C-alpha cells in the first residue's frame, strides 16, 4: 500500500475517512456535499465519536458512490490514532476499494502520521501460499493518501515508515514456515539490511565450537540444519558512543522440544519460537531505516531443536562459553541454552553497558499474563523503568516480574553449576534467573519473555490474526528515548 501526503483529495479516492473526538463530532464540518446526511446517519448508528468507535456508510460524493468511514479517538491519545488507521484498513481491505483518503485537516502533524502508521501496520498480511484464495478475500487497497495534514506530517511519517518496515520484516520471519525459515535462510533474509548501512557478520557452527558455545550447539546437534549466530551492527553516532546497546534474540526456528518432545497438538505453532530473533532483526532494520543516532548491536542465536539419533538427551551436561556447566534435565527448555552463550559472547565482544534479550521463552508467562503483556525481568531498576515507559508509549506493553537470589536454589544442580529447569512453580522467573548467571557485574540487563505476544489468535489494533511484530516498536522507542540526543 502506497502512502502519500497531499493538499487536495485525490479524485479516484473511493474511501473517505474522518477522525473525530466525542467533543468535536457534533459540530464537525465534513468537507463533503451532504454533511447533514452524514451526521443523521451516524446518529442513527449511535456513533458519537467516542474513542474506539467506528462507522462505515456509503454515500454519493462527486457523482459517484464512495465509502465514508468515521472513527472516534480520545483527545491526544497516540495509540488511538494508530488504532484508527488500523480500523480503516480492517474495514475496507478486502472490500474492493482501492484508494483511501484520510482527511487530516483537524489533526496535528504527528497524529496524521500515526494514522498512516497504524494503517500500514494493520495492512500487512501474507497470502503467497494461498493459491486458491477467493477474489472477495483478496486485499484490494493499493494507496492511502493523507489529505490536508500540517506540512511537517510527512517528516514524522518518514520515521514511522522505517519502523513499519522493521515490523513487517519481523512478521515475515515469524510467519514463514520452518521449512522456509531455518538458521541459514534466516541469515539470508536479513542480508538486505546491508543496503541500509547495517554491518552483518555470521558465526557458523565451527566458529561457535571453537569459542566453546556448548550450550547453544547442544540444542542444535539433533538437527540437520546447522546453527548460526547472526550479528548486526548499526552505529549512527560516528563512533562517539563507545559502548553499544546490545539486543539479543532467541532464534529457535522450530522447536519440537527435542527428546523431551512436545505434544503433537499445536506443535506447528513452534515455527514462531524464533520471535525474539525476529524482533531483533526487525528493530535493527527500523533503526537503520530511520538513521538512528545510536550505536546498537543485534545478535540472533539461531538453531533448530530436533530429536534425531544425535540429539541432546535429558541428563546431559554441557559447558557454556562462559565456562559454567549446565545439567540439561529437559531438552524443551532450550531457549535459555541458546541465549546464555549469545549473551556471554556479546558481552565479551562488545562490552555493552545495556543488554536486552527477547525470547519466546516460557509457557508460564502466558499463564501469568496471557497475550496482553510481555514479561520483564531486570537487574536494573533504571533499565526496567526505561523499557516499561517505551513499551507503554509504543504499544508493546511490559509487566515486570521479580528476580531474587531466593530463586537460585531452584536451579542449582547436584552435578553441575546449574540445571536448565527449576521446580513446578515460578517457571518464567527461574528461566530469567538462569540467564542472569551469564550477565557480568556492572552490565545493566533485561530479559523480555514475549511468548504470549508474538502471535495472536485474533486481530488486534494494528495487526491481523497471526504475527504481531511485537518488540520492534518497543526497542525502537527505547533507543530513541534514551540513546539519541
Positions annotated as catalytic residues are 262, 336
Among candidates 470, 455, 241, 278, which has minimal Cα distance to 352? Answer: 241
What dihedral angle (degrees, nearest 10) is formed by the CA atoms of 249, 252, 255, 261? -80
What is the longest distance spanned by two Cα atoms in the chain? 81
SS3 35: helix
With cell 489529505, the residue in question is 147
HEC per residue, 342-389: HHHHHHHHHCCCEEEEEECCCCHHHHHHCCCCEEEEECCHHHHHHHHH
> H or E stretch including 446?
strand 444-449
Q: What DSSP letter does each residue of 119-159 carry, written as one string?
A: HHHHH----TT-TT--GGGS----EEEEES--TTHHHHHHH
Instruction: Cell 535429558: give the residue.
Output: 314
Compute the half-sphere exposure of residue 77: CA atoms within 13 Å on the CB side of its CA. Answer: 16
Cell triple for 413: 544442580
The DSSP bridge partners found for residue 202 are 230
User: Are the C-beta atoms of residues 334 and 301 closer than 8 Å to each other?
Assistant: no
Q: What span, in angstroms and rounded, lies between the C-alpha atoms of 453 and 375?
A: 10
Write the DSSP symbol of residue 70. Answer: E
Nearest CA among 414, 209, 207 for reference residue 320:
209
Provide the β-strand partners of residue 400. 376
The pairing of strands 64-72 and 245-255 is unpaired
How far apart CA 293 and CA 177 sit, in angstroms, is: 35
Tell me which H or E stretch contains 15: strand 15-20
Cβ pair 45, 116 in contact under 8 A: no
Amino acid at each position: 500500500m502506497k502512502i502519500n501526503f497531499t493538499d487536495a483529495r485525490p479524485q479516484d479516492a473511493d474511501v473517505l475517512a474522518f477522525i473525530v473526538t466525542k467533543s468535536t463530532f457534533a459540530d464537525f464540518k465534513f468537507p463533503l456535499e451532504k454533511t447533514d446526511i452524514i451526521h443523521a446517519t451516524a446518529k442513527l448508528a449511535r456513533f458519537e465519536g467516542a474513542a474506539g468507535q467506528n462507522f462505515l456508510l456509503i454515500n454519493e460524493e462527486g457523482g459517484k458512490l464512495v465509502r465514508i468511514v468515521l472513527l472516534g479517538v480520545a483527545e491526544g491519545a497516540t495509540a488511538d490514532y494508530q488504532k484508527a488507521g488500523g480500523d480503516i484498513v480492517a474495514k475496507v481491505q478486502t472490500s474492493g476499494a482501492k484508494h483511501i483518503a484520510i482527511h487530516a485537516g483537524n489533526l496535528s502533524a504527528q497524529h496524521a502520521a500515526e494514522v498512516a502508521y497504524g494503517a500500514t501496520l494493520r495492512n500487512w498480511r501474507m497470502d503467497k501460499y494461498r493459491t486458491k484464495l477467493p477474489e472477495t478475500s483478496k486485499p484490494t487497497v493499493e494507496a492511502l493518501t493523507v489529505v490536508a495534514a500540517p506540512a511537517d506530517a510527512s517528516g514524522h511519517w518518514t520515521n514511522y515508515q522505517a519502523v513499519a518496515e522493521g515490523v513487517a520484516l519481523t512478521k515475515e520471519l515469524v510467519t514463514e514456515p520452518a521449512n522456509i525459515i531455518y538458521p541459514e535462510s534466516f541469515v539470508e533474509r536479513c542480508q538486505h539490511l546491508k543496503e541500509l548501512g547495517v554491518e552483518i557478520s555470521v558465526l557458523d557452527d565451527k566458529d561457535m565450537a571453537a569459542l566453546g558455545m556448548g550450550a547453544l550447539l547442544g540444542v542444535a546437534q539433533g538437527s540437520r540444519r546447522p546453527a548460526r549466530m547472526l550479528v548486526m551492527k548499526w552505529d549512527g553516532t560516528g563512533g562517539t558512543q563507545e559502548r553499544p546497546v546490545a539486543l539479543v534474540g532467541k532464534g529457535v526456528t522450530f522447536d519440537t522440544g527435542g527428546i523431551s518432545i512436545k505434544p503433537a497438538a499445536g506443535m506447528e505453532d513452534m515455527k514462531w519460537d524464533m520471535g525474539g530473533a525476529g524482533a531483533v532483526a526487525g528493530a535493527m532494520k527500523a533503526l537503520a531505516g530511520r538513521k538512528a543516532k545510536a550505536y546498537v548491536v543485534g545478535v540472533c542465536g539461531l538453531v533448530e531443536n530436533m530429536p534425531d539419533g544425535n540429539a541432546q538427551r535429558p541428563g546431559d551436561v554441557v559447558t557454556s562459553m562462559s565456562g559454567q556447566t549446565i545439567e540439561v534435565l529437559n531438552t524443551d527448555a532450550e531457549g535459555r541454552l541458546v541465549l546464555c552463550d549469545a549473551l556471554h559472547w556479546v558481552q565479551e565482544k562488545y562490552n555493552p553497558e545495556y543488554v536486552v534479550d527477547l525470547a519466546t521463552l516460557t509457557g508460564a508467562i502466558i499463564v501469568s499474563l496471557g497475550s496482553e503483556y510481555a514479561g520483564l525481568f531486570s537487574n536494573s531498576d533504571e533499565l526496567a523503568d526505561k523499557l516499561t515507559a517505551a513499551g507503554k508509549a509504543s504499544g508493546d506493553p511490559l509487566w515486570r516480574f521479580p528476580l531474587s537470589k531466593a530463586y537460585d536454589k531452584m536451579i542449582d544442580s547436584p552435578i553441575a553449576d546449574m540445571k536448565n529447569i527449576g521446580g513446578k512453580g515460578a517457571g518464567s522467573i527461574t528461566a530469567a534467573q538462569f540467564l542472569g548467571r551469564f550477565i557480568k557485574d556492572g552490565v545493566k540487563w533485561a530479559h523480555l519473555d514475549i511468548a504470549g505476544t508474538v502471535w495472536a489468535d485474533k486481530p488486534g489494533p494494528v495487526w491481523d490474526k497471526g504475527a504481531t511484530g511485537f518488540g520492534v516498536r518497543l526497542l525502537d522507542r527505547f533507543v530513541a528515548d534514551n540513546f539519541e540526543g
